[in-house]
Amino acid sequence: MPRPSRTAYPLSWRLLDAAEAVVGAMRPKRPEIVVPALFLAPAILLVAVLVWGLAGMVGDSLHVLDTATFLPAAEASLGNYAQLADRPIYATVIRRSLVAGVIVTAATLLLAFPYAYVMVRTSSSGLRRLLLIGLFLPFFIGQVVRAYGWLIILGNKGIVNAAITALGFEPLKLIYTYETILFGLVQYMLPFAVLLIAPAITAISEEMEMAAASLGANWWRGFTTVVLPLARPGLIAAGVVVFTLTLTDFAIPNILGGGTNDFAANAIYDAFFRISDAGLGAALALVLTFIGSTIVGVILAIAGAGTLGLGGRAGK
């Protein structure tokens, strides 16, 4: 039988056949283990870069700065952790970050839920699109530009103070305060929270709300007894994400706070770049990681894991 002409099959088919032949030749004895492992390998290697870096930090945190040579001391010790415990500034910084986490999470969830609800429930696709764009535009613009915008708005000669002085009042000090940092963080966190809550609301059948209404519940009662409990997974996921991002944020406390109300991340940065104490900075970074992970772990243990949405069908 003569060989088929080279043009008898499209090039793409022949390439595909070649690929099949290669894969077939390499077929492992247990494909159900090898193939998933091959698919996962690149991602595992990527995260390994992070793990490797963190492992190095653990080592660094065990070496105290020798103030005679300004190099890390040769012998390993827990001296850096002892310093963290001894110096009041670090407890203050961590407490400030934790309090901010709680306040920002509560405020953000309060503001995000109605937005997500209207976005999901509206019958107007134009309005839904507007709300989605209103969400994504700041999300895609990033932290630095948004913080810059707030500096312009809230600065001593900004739009807010311009309005206040036009009304005959004294200008207010609105930037470089703790309250401004909290406000900037709430604004920054809103898109994250809405995007995590919205799918949970989508999963709630609108007929459930109608059933509550037809049984006599007013809208507030229906909201608190039907919608909120069913949206709980989304609220928990949003709460966890907003809390951890706030606890560990660097840019907004730095830009809107102007160095007046440092968060933990700012203190870590200063340890490395202002006082050149890498060991102390590494220790504080690891303590922050531990605190954040512990809080998230406790919340997920109580609320049930899987709310962060990575659980696929195979995981159920």
Partner 1 sequence: MSAASTSPRGKRLVLWAVVGFDLLILALPTLIVLGASFTAGNIVTFPPDGLSLQWYEKVVGAYELRQAFWRSLWVAVVCTLISLPAGTLAAIALARWRIAFGRSLQVYLLLPFTVPLIASGIGMMLLFGRIGILGQLWPVGLACAVINLPFMIWAVGASVNGLDPDLENAAANCGAPPVQTFLTVTLPAVMPGVITGALLMFVLAFNEFLVSLLLVDARIVTLPVLIYNSIRSVITPDLAAVSVVYIVVAALAIRALDRLVGLDLFLRSK
Using CB under 8 A as the binding rule, the residues of this chain from 213 to 232 that contact partner 1 are 213-214, 218-220, 223
Residue 20 beta carbon to partner 1: minimum distance, rounded to whole angstroms = 5
Q: How many CB atoms lie within 10 A of CB 38?
A: 11
Q: Residue 31 corresponds to which tokens in the numbers above? A: 């494909």
Q: Is 79 or 291 the residue whose CB approaches partner 1 more closely?
A: 291
35 near partner 1 (CB under 8 A): yes
152 near partner 1 (CB under 8 A): yes
151 near partner 1 (CB under 8 A): yes
Residue 119 beta carbon to partner 1: minimum distance, rounded to whole angstroms = 7
179 near partner 1 (CB under 8 A): no
Binders in 194-213 for partner 1, by CB under 8 A: 195, 198-200, 202-203, 210, 213
42 near partner 1 (CB under 8 A): yes
Residue keyed to tokens 């991002």:
245
Residue keyed to tokens 């390993």:
76
The window from 3-11, 73-81, 83-91, 241-249 that contacts partner 1 (CB under 8 A) reads: 241-249
Q: How many CB atoms lie within 10 A of CB 299?
A: 16
46 near partner 1 (CB under 8 A): yes
Q: Is 79 or 188 the residue whose CB approaches partner 1 more closely?
A: 188
Across 264-287, b (16+ Cβ under 10 Å) vs e yields bbbbbbbbeeeeebbbbbbbbbbb
250 near partner 1 (CB under 8 A): yes
The window from 1-9, 71-79, 82-90, 137-145 that contacts partner 1 (CB under 8 A) reads: 137-145
Q: Residue 289 corresponds to which tokens in the numbers above? A: 């990681």
The window from 3-11, 71-79, 99-107, 134-142 that contacts partner 1 (CB under 8 A) reads: 134-142
The site that binds partner 1 (CB under 8 A) totals a number of residues, namely 115
What does DSSP assign to residue 304?
-
Phi, psi angles (nearest 5°) of residue 66: -85, 110
Q: Residue 298 corresponds to which tokens in the numbers above? A: 């406790």
236 near partner 1 (CB under 8 A): no
Radius of gyration of the chain (CA): 27
280 near partner 1 (CB under 8 A): no
Q: Under a CB-based contact definition with an 8 Å cutoff, are residues 315 and 306 in contact?
A: yes
Phi, psi angles (nearest 5°) of residue 25: -65, -30
Q: Which of 3, 25, 32, 69 binds partner 1 (CB under 8 A)?
A: 32
Q: Is 118 or 228 the residue whose CB approaches partner 1 more closely?
A: 118
Q: C-alpha angle 245/197/246, rounded to 5°?
A: 10
Q: CA 55, CA 52: separation in Å to the nearest integer?
A: 5
304 near partner 1 (CB under 8 A): no
Q: Which of 78, 144, 172, 298 binds partner 1 (CB under 8 A)?
A: 144
3-state SS class at 77: coil
Binding to partner 1 by CB under 8 A, coded x per residue (else -) over 79-118, reads -------------------------------xxx-xx-xx
Q: C-alpha angle 259/262/265, rounded to 5°?
A: 120
End-to-end CA distance of the chain: 54
Q: Which of 6, 29, 30, 157 binds partner 1 (CB under 8 A)?
A: 157
What does DSSP assign to residue 87?
-
